[in-house]
Amino acid sequence: MNDASDQQAKLQEEERRKEELRKEEQMRQDRLRQEEQMKENFQKEEQMKQEFLEKEDQKKEEFLKEEDMKKELFEKEQQQKEEAFEKDRLQEEQFAEQQREQEARFKEQQEWEKTQQDKMELKPEPSDQMKARYAEEQRNEFERDKLEKGINEQRESFDARHEQLGTDTEKQEALRQAQEERFEQLREQQAQEQRERQSRQEELLKEQERERTRDALGR
């Protein structure tokens, strides 16, 4: 009878130990599933962060391209203004040269007429030749006034553009400095974000390696 009781007690103890082992195994499996789920959630979160950062990088790249295009357009416009400025300067020189030539011809004409007048005898009525010379003199005076007016207008336009060009050059230098500072800030920010992403990826790899080591030891 005592043997039967002992045997029964042993069986019950064995069943109890099996139940404890089963519960422990169940708890271990539950823990592994939770850890696996946590790793999966972490990986999804990191993937979402990576995608977000890539989109931000793309936006910054597009912004930099847009800024480069603006800078290129501004420099092109500035170059066109400088070319226009040089063209005006050359035109002014040409007008000045034309004016000098016209004045020289006019002076020669006056001297010739004076010489001819000295040679001619005074008459009550001017001859046809004198009338023609007088008309020619009037035409020359008209052409000289017109040329001088054109040169003055060109000079005023030249001075106005020169003044505007000086203002645009100052604006261009200020814009260039601001753009360079902005580009440098963006490059530094991108480099910092790249270092942070690399650090997180390395940490994730280390954590995965630790998990594999724990799983291997648990088995």
Distance CA 110, CA 117 (A): 10
Q: What is the pLDDT of residues 165-191, one digit of tens each?
A: 555 566 667 766 766 676 677 667 767
The answer, as to whether pTM is greater than 0.85, is no
Q: What is the pLDDT of residues 53-72, one digit of tens each?
A: 899 889 889 988 998 899 89
Q: 């060109």: which residue's tokens?
A: 154
Question: CB count, 10 Å around CB of 188?
Answer: 10
CA dihedral 97, 99, 103, 104 (to 10 degrees): 10
Q: What is the pLDDT of residues 150-165, one digit of tens each?
A: 666 765 665 665 565 5
Mean pLDDT lowest among 47-56, 137-146, 187-196:
137-146
